[in-house]
Homo-oligomer: A and B are copies of this chain.
């Protein structure tokens, strides 16, 4: 199967309180940077042929070097991201569209992943790619552990309680058949619409497209706050222990 992947890796880690706008992708967990873990997972995923990464301009060279030194041969392009995450993904998609036109080969699926989710596993990527190609759209999710409520009439008070049994917390990589993802992003750009994730864009422009749930473990966290670093170390140790058991 031919799948291409987009990795959004422009986050400057404001919530991480990093010095001088250091990329949160460069934080080390388990002896490797966040982006190393992410690149390696996509390198090792059998379904993936080519990976496009959007990042800050001054991360492009370090990322290229990292890919070269580690034999991450599937990293196809590392380009500058846009203002918002969605713009970065759009930049990668422009490249993918050119590639499709020049090669005449249409991928089975495009996956979009957050660079700051380094604990995704290659076999999970493969499964999401497979379901996306088969059903048109697939998004990983976990059941929320906590009760979820709306904010009320001011941010200091609560509103309505949601029915937790009907909720899912969604993650990435989110996979789609190329035509729909490309068209949804094109329309969003022309309408000036920004959505919370790619699934929300596809939902908006292709409401008839059902988005399939891939039930994910709790390891696929996003490295967002300083607390996440030791938590990430623990998750990584757990994943290694699980692998050595098998």
Contact = CB atoms under 8 A, between A and B. Distances in A.
Among A139, A158, A196, A238, which residue has the most Cβ atoms of chain B within 10 A? A158
Interface in A122-177: 139, 141, 144-152, 155-159, 161-162, 164, 166-171
Contacts of A151: 166-168, 213
Which DSSP category, helix, strand, loop or mixed, fits chain A's interface?
A: mixed
Interface in A206-246: 210-213, 217-219, 221-222, 224-228, 230-231, 233-235, 237-238
A81 to B, nearest CB: 19
A200 interface: yes
Contacts of A166: 150-151, 159
Interface of A: 139, 141, 144-152, 155-159, 161-162, 164, 166-171, 195-197, 199-200, 203, 210-213, 217-219, 221-222, 224-228, 230-231, 233-235, 237-238
12 contacts: A139-B149, A146-B170, A147-B196, A149-B167, A150-B168, A151-B213, A156-B212, A158-B170, A161-B197, A218-B228, A226-B238, A230-B238
